[in-house]
Amino acid sequence: MTLKQSLGVIGAPIAHSLSPLLHEFIIRQYDLPFTYSAYHVEKESLAEAVYGAQALGFRGLNVTVPYKKDVMSLLDEIDEFALKVGAVNTILFSEGRITGYNTDVFGFLHSLAVENVSLSDRDVVLLGAGGAARAIVLAAKKGGARSVMIYNRTYEKAAALAEKMGCVAVSQDYFTAIPDHAVIINTTSVGMHPNVNASPLPQTLFRADCLYIDIVYNPQNTLFLQYATHAGAQTVGGIGMLILQGILAMEIWSGKSIDLQQNFGALQDLLRRALGAQ
């Protein structure tokens, strides 16, 4: 009998995480020698949790809110890309070493490719300057965006992120000056369950010529996306990014290449059903 190695996700809160469902599906599909569970970890126990998982022979961990930054000081090595983002969402335990990666950037870019959407030569307006925003700024740059403007409720955070990433922080006044065919990306948690009746932009600002992307995936059809659809604009939701960052993490842990085309549709249905049932 093959001994199964443990994988898991650590965060707080973690009870509603879709990661176990997503990863158990991939583990079954590819007959991988892993099990995957969610672990609620308090801030003061983060180091114990990571080193404990290593001591117990875990293969890896996903790291989610609020520890993607904090966990970095506990690792032996950090992948160049995760260093650029300044956040780790995937940990690999291998040969006595702990290595951190960030799969959010490529998860986001792959999710746009699946939807046949490109950021190349487009003006991007990013709403939010939290942990996820850092990955999306880098993705926008990698994806060939012409310009990246960052708006955040707390202006100082937008200014700090813009300075670090070589973009521009803007105030609310910019909303009436957004260029034609811009891409507006919501990376804030506004509209996320249970506060589903909130949008990071007022309805009057939505336009048919822009593309609206929301990385919030619970609910699937956020008020932000509903306003965009109502304005006649194209939209992309957050489930694709969630799936693809997970697949990329599983590739790191298993060393196997996982077929996106073959699994994306089934995973999308699975997660949509689970979200519908929440």
Ligand X SMILES: NC(=O)c1ccc[n+]([C@@H]2O[C@H](COP(=O)([O-])OP(=O)(O)OC[C@H]3O[C@@H](n4cnc5c(N)ncnc54)[C@H](OP(=O)(O)O)[C@@H]3O)[C@@H](O)[C@H]2O)c1
Nearest-approach distance from CB 195 to ligand X, in angstroms: 8
Binding status of residue 132 toward ligand X by CB under 6 A: yes
Residues recorded for the chain: 278
Nearest-approach distance from CB 131 to ligand X, in angstroms: 4
Q: Tokens in use for 271?
A: 């997660």
68 is catalytic: yes
Binding status of residue 131 toward ligand X by CB under 6 A: yes
C-beta closer to ligand X: residue 4 or 153: 153
Chosen residue from 215, 225, 248, 249 binding ligand X by CB under 6 A? 215
Nearest-approach distance from CB 188 to ligand X, in angstroms: 3
Chosen residue from 22, 92, 140, 241 binding ligand X by CB under 6 A? 241
Smallest CA-to-CA distance from 117 within 92, 80, 93, 144 is with: 144
Chosen residue from 242, 248, 249, 267 binding ligand X by CB under 6 A? 242
Chosen residue from 27, 184, 216, 247 binding ligand X by CB under 6 A? 216
CB under 6 A: which stretch of 7-15, 91-99, 147-155, 248-256 binds ligand X? 147-155
**Hey, is 241 helix, strand or coil?**
helix
Residue nearest to ligand X (CB): 130
3-state secondary structure 198-215: CCCCCHHHCCCCCEEEEC
Q: Is the dihedral of CA 36, 40, 46, 49 positive or negative?
A: negative
Nearest-approach distance from CB 192 to ligand X, in angstroms: 4
CB under 6 A: which stretch of 1-9, 35-43, 173-181, 235-243 binds ligand X? 235-243
Task: Report how far residue 228's alpha carbon sits from residue 222's, in angstroms, rounded to the nearest whole number.
Answer: 10
Task: Report how far residue 188's alpha carbon sits from residue 127's, in angstroms, rounded to the nearest whole number.
Answer: 6
> How many helices and strands (H and E) does the chain possess?
9, 12
**Hey, is 33 helix, strand or coil?**
coil
Relative to beta strand 211-214, strand 168-169 is unpaired
C-beta closer to ligand X: residue 5 or 196: 196
Helix, strand, coil tally for the chain in percent (to 5): 45, 20, 35
Chosen residue from 16, 146, 153, 256 binding ligand X by CB under 6 A? 153
C-beta closer to ligand X: residue 14 or 132: 132
Smallest CA-to-CA distance from 139 within 164, 170, 112 is with: 112
Binding status of residue 104 toward ligand X by CB under 6 A: yes
User: Rule CB under 6 A: which residues touch ligand X?
Assistant: 65, 104, 128-133, 152-154, 157, 187-190, 192, 200, 215-217, 238, 241-242, 245
Active site residues: 68
